[in-house]
Structure 1
């Protein structure tokens, strides 16, 4: 495993998920990314997962720019 791959693998993020409603067999609420102090609202569980994935991708991009 290359050093860059290991460095990215060790990166972690902390999300606080607040589920406010459960309708149509899914969640609605907000997600807060602690490291960047950003909060976004989601309307479905899939949207919440996509927001997490985008946040992690954004964090990886910033790490690459710093290198």
Structure 2
């Protein structure tokens, strides 16, 4: 896992670990590599919302620093 989180994308980098697949969706953990934060999710929709909110947070931080 540490090797994976060393790689960075242009905007943000997320590592998604799917632990289970139940009720036609995924459950697992997502790590925001740039901030070293890990959160659990219970559905693919929740995963998308977590990533979206992290991107919103990073964009607002960049806007404040300009």
Q: Pick the TM interval, shorter chain.
A: 0.7 to 0.9
Which runs of no fewer than 5 residues in structure 1 stay unpaired? 1-10
CA distance in 1: counterparts of 2:31 and 2:44, whole angstroms? 15
**TM-score, with structure 1 as normaliser:** 0.82
The two structures, once aligned, show a CA RMSD in angstroms of 0.8
Q: CA deviation at 1:12?
A: 1.4
**Aligned counterpart, 1:37:** 36
Deviations 1:44-67 (A, max 9, x none): 000000000000000000001111
CA distance in 2: counterparts of 1:58 and 1:29, whole angstroms? 22
**Aligned counterpart, 1:8:** none
Task: Find runs of 4+ consecutive structure 1 residues off by over 4 angstroms.
Answer: none
* Count of aligned pairs between the two proteins: 57
CA distance in 2: counterparts of 1:45 and 1:37, whole angstroms? 21
**TM-score, with structure 2 as normaliser:** 0.83
